[in-house]
Structure 1
Amino acid sequence: MRKFLLLLLMLPLIVTAAPYNRNEARPVNDVVFGQIESVRYITQQEVINSQRNGWETLLGGVVGGLIGNQFGGGTGREVATAVGAVAGAGIAHNRQQGQTVIEYRLVEVLIKTDQGKLIDVIQDVDQTSVFNRGDNVRILYFNDGVRVDKEF
């Protein structure tokens, strides 16, 4: 269910914001000119559970076992070693479980074309091309997406 929701949230990003390098020549299918009606900067967060390989848990178990081995004598020492190993592994395992948040900075641009249509595009933020209401822009249509640039 989470994967479906994540895919659903990322669909506008996938459909409208194709990877695009400004210094890359690409064939353009169509160019439409217009003027920006509104600009909205948004973020999209993706939470990723950290997945480590378990070496930290193993090391925690070994260290816990060594510490537990320092207590008691005979059978008590064996029990203390086992309890220390389990506790050390549990602490290390719980410590390593974490989440990483990746934040995508996006801009949503509503454009009124020269033909009078309204087109909404969501794309990644480019600091070299900051949009403002009233800017003249061009909408570039590619095989794999759309890109908005300022008209120069």
Structure 2
Amino acid sequence: MKPTQRMLCMGALLAASFGAVAQSYGPRDEGRRFNDGSKVVCKNVEVQRNSRDPNRITGTATGAVVGGLIGNQVGGGNGKKLATVAGAVAGGAVGRNVQGNHQQKSGDRVVERRCERVYR
């Protein structure tokens, strides 16, 4: 067996073993006990749904443009460039925050049952 084939074979075995370890549990498994003393525990978790812009790109971009325009009105020469950049960065941060707060208030919230294996 060539070294590249051997590496591919070892990689496939390693991936298969990790696939066997990564297991998900559902509500039907709740209370299931294992030989190592662990068991499956389920909890209700509140999750936000229907967020069209989860990364808040719109708020960040809008804030950066507005902040850059305001910063451009300050100073002269290199100071004006620095103020423009600082305004864009600050505006982006503020815009992201504002959009996040808005999404949190107006987003649909759903309760999901999530289960995980707990080792005690």
TM-score (norm 2): 0.44
TM-score (norm 1): 0.36
- In terms of fraction of residues, the more strand-rich structure is 1
- In terms of fraction of residues, the more helix-rich structure is 2
Higher alpha-carbon Rg: 1
